[in-house]
A and B are shown apart, each in its own frame.
Chain A
Amino acid sequence: MQPLIKVTDLSMEYGDKKVLENVSLEVYPAEFIAIIGKSGCGKSTFLRLLSGLETAVAGEISQNGQTVQGINSQARIMFQNDRFLPWKKNIGNVGIGLKGEWRKQARQLLKQVGLEGYEEQYPITLSGGQKQRVALARALIHQPEFLLLDEPLGALDALTRMEMQQLIATICREKQVTCMLVTHDVEEAVMLADRVIVLEDGQVKSEWQIDLPHERKRADSKFRNYVEQLLKEILV
């Protein structure tokens, strides 16, 4: 199978500071990748490079065999904070950047993320969890091949977090979207990912295939095993 995304020897620097060094990675269609690593190891930078918000100093990113230059229109990124336009209603925020008949689809997506009836309200009235649901709808309406998630659930309480993990897993599998999730939460990574990448000081330290069937159970001994091993890998 051809990889959807091929990252070759990607390096990034800010000034003198090397943030990513020779990162290479292949991501296959409909695969769910999780990236974990200590704070400051370059996870967000990696996603920003993949979305085209930043340009690497060396190396190449290609999607479907084509080099990504400028904003990657086939990828959508979901940020840690919601980044809504407060003056637009929820439905308008979902449809940002779209022309023509997007409303019907925006409505449908809002329904899919469980927010039917919230179309005509302003984002200021939403709870944290609801905001990330709208943000998910906003990312998905573009029908991206590649969905980048930069700790989108970081600010949520544990219960809402689990709900959202479920939602993301269901929707992404149903739509066959290829996903890359950055997270601090090792359990979240094991819960959602087919493959976990451990990043350390801007380099790929190791890759872990998670061979567990969905739905995964947190209490499962194999699940706990993965979590423990990964935690060790990050902390050592």
Chain B
Amino acid sequence: MKRKKWDNLIIPFIVPLVVLILWQYFSSIGVISDRILPSPTDVINKGIKLTQTGELPANILISLRRAVIGFILGGSIGFILGMVNGMFQLFDRVFDTSIQMLRTIPHLSLIPLVILWFGIDEAAKIFLVTIGVLFPIYINTYHGVKQVDPELIEMGKAYGLNRWKLFTEIVFPGALSSILVGVRYALGIMWTSLIVAETISADSGIGYMATNAREFMQMDTIVLCIVIYALLGKFSDVIARMLENRWQKWSIR
């Protein structure tokens, strides 16, 4: 049993490790030129150096901050709209169609507009993330609420739950698994939006670091930024998964 657990932890990492070793090997014997791809050790060294100067942590923090603020803003708006439209017929009829129409606009196509509106201000990046996150959260919250079993709600009424209790005990938990799907999806969009926004218009953040490094042909920094984005993406996915496991215990027999 224990043995199996270890195997599960190790086996998925064999392939990446082999790739990494081969990459390092071919770089060191010069098969891969460092003008095409720097070696893993170069990237790591660069990472250490930029950490020491404080440049890397500062930029990570800035990107993280934009991501979190945008996610919280877009997530809350999407969540509230989804809940209200899911629960109240009137709001549903008034708002849902319009929201579904707006949803068909790819949010990254707004970039030129956003730059005109906000310049390279913080607001530009946060706005793009907010818009990107809003729709998946909205859609999944809305559908989550719609698919809550009406018989459960009727049971709640018959057992004396008031409106607020009906929401906290039945509607919200019933919609939660769908909402969490939205959250995971939105986290992906959050990073993509941020990368694009920071690459195109920014003077700080990971995306800016990469763009800036391109101008000076600093391959190692570019690759480092890509790796950092990957790590941040993985990190948020792990958090989302942890939330799912924690709140979905009941569905596991």
**By the criterion CB–CB under 8 Å, are A81 and B151 in contact?**
yes
Q: Mark A207-235, 1 if CB is under 8 A from B, else 0.
A: 00000000000000000000000000000
> Is there contact, CB below 8 Å, between A76 and B158?
yes
The 23 sampled A-B contact pairs (Cβ below 8 Å) are A51-B158, A52-B158, A71-B160, A73-B160, A77-B158, A81-B151, A83-B151, A85-B170, A86-B250, A86-B251, A87-B174, A87-B176, A87-B250, A89-B250, A97-B156, A97-B159, A97-B160, A122-B249, A124-B250, A124-B251, A124-B253, A125-B253, A142-B159
The answer to the question of A53 belonging to the interface, with a C-beta cut-off of 8 Å to chain B, is: yes
B151:A79 contact, CB within 8 angstroms: yes
With A124-B250, A124-B251 already in contact, the answer to whether A96 and B151 are too (CB < 8 A) is: no
- Bound complex: CA A89 to CA B156 (Å): 16
By a CB distance below 8 angstroms, the chain B residues around A79 are 151, 155
Contact A71 B173 (CB under 8 A): no
List the B side residues contacting A124 at CB < 8 Å: 250-251, 253
Smallest beta-carbon distance B70→chain A, Å: 30
| Min C-beta distance of B106 to chain A, whole Å | 36
Find chain A residues with CB under 8 A from B173 CB. Answer: 85, 87
Task: Report, as a range, how many residues of chain A touch the other chain.
Answer: 20 to 34
Interface residues of A in 107-145 (CB under 8 A from B): 122, 124-125, 138, 142
**Which residues on B are within 8 Å of A, measured CB to CB?**
151-152, 154-161, 165, 169-170, 173-174, 176, 247, 249-251, 253
- What A residues does B156 contact at CB under 8 A? 96-97
Instruction: Tell whether A53 pairs with B157 under 8 Å between CB atoms, given A85-B173, A122-B250, A124-B250.
Output: yes
Instruction: Contacts A53-B157, A85-B170, A87-B176 known; list 10 others, CB within 8 Å.
Output: A51-B158, A79-B151, A81-B151, A83-B154, A85-B173, A86-B251, A87-B247, A96-B156, A97-B156, A124-B251
Contacts of A103 in B (CB 8 A): none
